[in-house]
Amino acid sequence: MNYPNFFNEIETIQLKDSLSTFLGAFEDGVIEFGFLDVVKSAGHSCPTVLGAYLMAKEGLKELYKDELPKRGEIIVEFKENENEGVAGVISSVITQITGATVNLGFKGLAGQFNRKNLMYFDSKITSNVRFTRKDNNKSVEVIYDASSIPIDSRISLLMQRCIQNRASKEEIKEFGILWQDRVRNISKNIDQVIRIL
């Protein structure tokens, strides 16, 4: 499987999942997600998928400091409705990482390991997403804004040509390269695109 090298250069996210410990899936319940994992799940790499990954990575890092985040024990809230904009894409990525779901997740065993009712939309927050620890109710809010990262002027025209089936093979390839260049540039400027409240 071939993919852009920069996927492997983005810092991974480690979490501890008590359910995986209980069921013997991972030693000590430690799970690691990389950007490639969420790209495979989403089926594509774009600024939105990267933004969701970075919001989770930086938000959980701030929320748990020197501890491993506890997967399945994090409440996730979004300002937007699940059908608004790209909230659905973002929530899917964050569900994969945190385990939090609205109502489709694992319902637990004898009151433990429940993953349902940990994700909420239309929340009264000023950021894109808020992460809250269930154990101590501490929260962090995260804003993602990649508008400061320049966009190659050729992307828009090439995208149009590709969508309208008017692009040559060379143009289709060039579009993909330029698109991933933008994703890579965003990944190299985390301090510029992510803000923790």
Query: Residue 128: pLDDT above 80?
Result: yes
> What CATH number does residue 85 fall under?
3.30.1330.20
Mean pLDDT of 91-112: 86
DSSP three-state, residue 190: helix
Angle formed by the axes of helices 87-98 and 47-64, nearest 10°: 40
Cα 39 to its chain centre, rounded Å, is 9
**Quick one: pLDDT at residue 172?**
97
Phi and psi at residue 31, to the nearest 5°: -120, 140
- Say which residues have a Cβ less than 8 Å from residue 177's Cβ, sequence separation at least 6: none
**Quick one: pLDDT at residue 106?**
74
92 belongs to a structural domain: yes
Domain assignment of residue 99, given as a range: 11-147+190-196
80 belongs to a structural domain: yes
Distance from the first to the final alpha carbon of the chain: 38
**Quick one: pLDDT at residue 77?**
98
120 belongs to a structural domain: yes
Which pTM value belongs to this model? 0.95
50 belongs to a structural domain: yes
Query: Residue 7: pLDDT above 80?
Result: yes
132 belongs to a structural domain: yes
- Total domain count for the chain? 1
**Quick one: pLDDT at residue 68?**
98
Q: Are strands 194-196 and 129-133 parallel, antiparallel or unpaired?
A: unpaired
List, in sequence order, every beta strand (DSSP E) within the chain.
13-17, 30-33, 70-71, 74-78, 119-120, 129-133, 139-144, 194-196
